[in-house]
């Protein structure tokens, strides 16, 4: 059995679907479906069971027999960067992940968990090393602190443990995220509704719409996880990005080209975001390459049209 926490979310549900495509349906999905619309992400997937996130951890702590566990992919977390209830965040993100880590070690089961590129704060260096880690909010701190916790135990691990620091992930099954969905998703909807794409004007020395991010298609993020499960001898903390920063204008142009229409409208940069906005991110993927991962990552020009085609085939 594979256990996927956060299995109804963007990355988790795509991981479930990828396992299905390998002929695997013995999957336990763990999530919080209070926001019930997320069920749509699993409607075309095959799983053996679903358990609420709180019930799951209670069962685990009570010694529930889950049978042979082939791997645990832990995507579940409160990812709101505006949540300042530190007690809640540390229990939900940090303590929960610690419990899973030690349980997987006792079961000698691979454990792949979601860290975050937010641990780097404003950068400007995005490499998996303590001197570059400067979390700016509670969400980022919870991810950073678990990475620190893992580092203490790394030399004594009994089975695979990998932390994945995702950069700007976009792609199918993110509609439930609302305002937190990717710019590609919002640009697509803006063209359909208004025929215009809205971008910020320049800031931090960047021109209009020229701020740079490392945009990674969710299929590429999932491919990294599948490779890790296929290579249980690999452990560590890895950036998951393309290693190639591209501009918001690049994303906008890819959307316009796909639709064959539309124009860009630049909006004044919000005052409250000045000095608090990441104008540049680019994953250093040297550690991932050194570990043996050789697959190429989609560019914005390749990934965005693929995503938009999926949205058109799966309206609503």
Among all residues, which ones are annotated catalytic? 139, 177
Number of separate helices (H) and strands (E) present in the chain: 10, 13
| Diameter of the chain measured on Cα atoms | 57
Q: In whole angstroms, how far apart are CA 132 and each of 122, 181, 239?
A: 10, 27, 13
Tell me the Ramachandran region of residue 241: left when phi exceeds 0, alpha when psi lies from -120 to 50, beta otherwise.
Answer: beta
Pairing assessment for the beta strands 111-114 and 71-74 based on DSSP bridges: parallel
**Which residues make beta-bridge pairs with 128?**
none
In sequence order, which residues have a C-beta less than 8 Å from that of residue 289 and are 6 or more positions away?
Answer: none
For residues 74 and 312, give the distance between their C-alpha atoms in angstroms, rounded to a whole number: 30
In sequence order, which residues have a C-beta less than 8 Å from that of residue 256 and are 6 or more positions away?
Answer: 191, 197, 262, 263, 264
Burial 91-118 (b: 16+ CB within 10 A, else e): ebbbebbeebbebbbeeebbbbbbbbbb
For residues 310 and 316, give the distance between their C-alpha atoms in angstroms, rounded to a whole number: 11
Instruction: Count the helix, strand and coil residues of the chain and give each as a percent rounded to the nearest 5.
Output: 45, 15, 40
Q: Are 284 and 252 in contact (CB under 8 A)?
A: no
Q: Are 161 and 155 in contact (CB under 8 A)?
A: no
């Amino acid at each position: 059995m594979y256990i996927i926490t956060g299995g109804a979310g963007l990355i988790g549900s795509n991981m479930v679907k990828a396992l299905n495509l390998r002929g695997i349906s013995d999957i336990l999905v763990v999530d919080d479906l209070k926001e019930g619309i997320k069920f749509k992400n699993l409607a075309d997937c095959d799983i053996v069971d679903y358990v609420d996130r709180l019930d799951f951890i209670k069962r685990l702590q009570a010694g529930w027999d889950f049978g042979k566990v082939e791997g645990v992919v832990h995507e579940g977390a409160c990812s709101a960067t505006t949540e300042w209830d530190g007690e809640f965040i540390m229990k939900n993100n940090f303590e929960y992940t610690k419990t899973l880590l030690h349980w997987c070690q006792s079961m000698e089961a691979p454990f792949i968990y979601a860290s975050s590129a937010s641990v780097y704060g404003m950068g400007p260096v995005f490499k998996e090393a303590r001197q570059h880690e400067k979390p700016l909010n509670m969400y980022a701190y919870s991810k950073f602190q678990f990475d620190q916790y893992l580092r203490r135990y790394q030399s004594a691990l009994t089975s695979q443990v990998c932390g994945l620091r995702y950069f700007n992930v976009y792609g199918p099954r993110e509609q439930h995220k609302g305002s937190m969905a990717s710019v590609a998703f919002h640009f697509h909807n803006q063209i359909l509704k208004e025929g215009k794409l809205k971008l910020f004007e320049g800031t931090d020395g960047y021109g209009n719409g020229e701020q740079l991010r490392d945009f990674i298609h969710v299929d590429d993020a999932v491919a990294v996880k599948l490779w890790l499960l296929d290579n249980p001898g690999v452990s560590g903390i890895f950036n998951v990005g393309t290693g190639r920063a591209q501009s918001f204008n690049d994303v906008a142009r890819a959307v316009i080209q796909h639709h064959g229409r539309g124009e860009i409208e630049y909006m004044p940069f919000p005052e409250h975001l000045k000095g608090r906005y990441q104008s540049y991110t680019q994953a250093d993927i040297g550690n991932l390459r050194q570990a043996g991962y050789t697959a190429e990552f989609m560019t914005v020009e390749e990934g965005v049209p693929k995503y938009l085609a999926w949205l058109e085939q799966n309206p609503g």
